[in-house]
Structure 1
Amino acid sequence: MNKRGRLIVLSGPSGVGKGTVLARYREEHPGVRLSISATTRAPRPGEADGEHYFFLSREQFEERIARGGMLEWAQYNNNYYGTPRDYVERALEAGEDVVLEIEVQGAMKVREQLPEALLVFVMPPSFGELRRRLCGRGTEDPETIRGRLCAAARELAHAHEYDYIVINDTVESAASTLSRVLDGARDLVKYNLNFISEVLQDAQTSDVAD
């Protein structure tokens, strides 16, 4: 049986460490593909098309939106950013698991288009710890940190809409939890519909003794 890959959507507030957790998970699961986003902003020095981003013109991006070619998209600083549907679908059809690291609104858009997507929300052990981590960076002024904390509170209010939560108390334990829940999820019915259909079809076409 050629099983379709799984689409895994990872979200969490700024400062929770979801990128670090994902990187540690992928060290142990190198076959999991990290999706590449598309954008209309200009490439920065050292960035390559199809490696860091798919760099599109504004007209190309809007044409993809019009024909449903983006699983999710948004505008920041007058530029489009989004997830190309064809890139993700090709990988899934090839049996690869694909991870999208995106914010809550994008995750909900993905679920609308691909209900089989598995949504994972990375949470801090406490809101106070999230505040400590953001302050500990030492790279942002108090007003910026306050804005990030307000945004985090709004995002945390959507955690119940996800399939799983992963608490990032330490990177090692969070990556272990992520591995455990994703490995266990392989047996969910929604990821085995083709197999179930094949067995049922075989049953219907076989000579079954009374």
Structure 2
Amino acid sequence: MKPSTLEEAESALDRKKHTMLCAKRGSKKKKKVLYNAHYSEDFDAEEMVNYERVALFFPKPSHRRPLVMVGPHSIGRHELRRRLLESNKERFAAAVPHTSRSRRDDETDGVHYHFVARHAFEADIVLHRFVEHGEYEKQYYGTSLSSIRQLVREVKTCVLNLMPQALKLLKASDLKPYVIFIAPPCIEKLKILRQKMGMCTKDDDLRFTIEEGRQIEENFGHYFDKVIVNSDINRAYAETLREMERIELEPQWVPYVWMHRS
């Protein structure tokens, strides 16, 4: 069955990866992918920042910073995002993705997807208008900067689950994203977490998640605003919610250049 939303495609990818990890031993096997995210070469090379001028950003009731959650696969980001979106639909929202596939009879343009022609989608890729994009069954799917901006204009917090490579493009935008790294706990606590979530608990899989988290933090940690260790999904959700409430009330240090972007 084809995924009807970008979130379902991402969840299907996680399920498929864990099915394969549980079925086959060995940490170096190449995994098949259901949904591939792609990035422009201009944003692939990571540059560590030794010094960055910052300024104090005072929250405004008319502007909510998008929440970006990154972390290793199957660490609970999708569940955290789902809980946030369901907790308060007036406060949290998901960006409407774009796709090049045809609209189905039960779908509304601008609600389920933004339906665009393939050549228009490809032009937007060249112009770096997508935070992430991928191809599934010869059709493009992606999350655009314009969809995120639309939620900012509606005074809603856009909740995003992204690959860490997308952070460089987001930081260069006018969106002022708030990035939370959902980190894995120690292997014993990770096994308990996976058991509670009904997921694979083989040692090779657990070690793979911990190592993936370590690599993400090493390569992209300079983009993180907050690290939340997910050893318990309820506690991680409560901590994420508290953090979002805090940044709506308290000033935060942000890159100086952000204060001079419209």
Determine if contact 1:11/1:122 at 8 Å carries over to the other structure.
Answer: yes
SS of the equivalent of 1:160 reads helix
Aligned length: 190
SS of the equivalent of 2:170 reads helix
Distance 1:147 1:169, change over 3 A: closer
Task: Output the aligned Cα RMSD.
Answer: 3.8
Distance 1:157 1:37, change over 3 A: farther
Distance 1:130 1:146, change over 3 A: closer
Distance (whole Å) between structure 2 residues aligned to residue 154 and residue 42 of structure 1: 38
Of 65, 71, 74, which residue of structure 2 is paired with 1:15?
74
Distance (whole Å) between structure 2 residues aligned to residue 87 and residue 164 of structure 1: 24
Of 72, 88, 95, which residue of structure 1 is paired with 2:155?
95
Match of 1:121 in 2: 181
Distance (whole Å) between structure 2 residues aligned to residue 42 and residue 152 of structure 1: 37
Determine if contact 1:7/1:100 at 8 Å carries over to the other structure.
Answer: yes
Match of 2:235 in 1: 173
Q: Structure 2: which 5+ runs fail to align?
A: 1-59, 255-262
Structure that is richer in helix per residue = 1
Match of 1:69 in 2: 129
Q: Find out whether 1:104 has 2:164 as its counterpart.
A: yes
Q: Cα deviations across residues 39-90 of structure 1 (Å, max 9, x unaligned)?
A: 34677997765444434333121122344432x1343566544322222212
Displacement of 1:105 = 0.7
Determine if contact 2:189/2:231 at 8 Å carries over to the other structure.
Answer: no
SS of the equivalent of 1:73 reads strand
SS of the equivalent of 1:169 reads coil
Q: Which amino acid aligns with 2:228?
A: V
Match of 1:188 in 2: 251
Of 217, 221, 228, which residue of structure 2 is paired with 1:160?
221
Distance 1:49 1:154, change over 3 A: farther
TM-score by length of 2: 0.57
Displacement of 1:174 = 0.7
Larger radius of gyration: 1
Displacement of 1:92 = 0.8
Q: Structure 1: which 5+ runs fail to align?
A: 192-210
TM-score by length of 1: 0.69
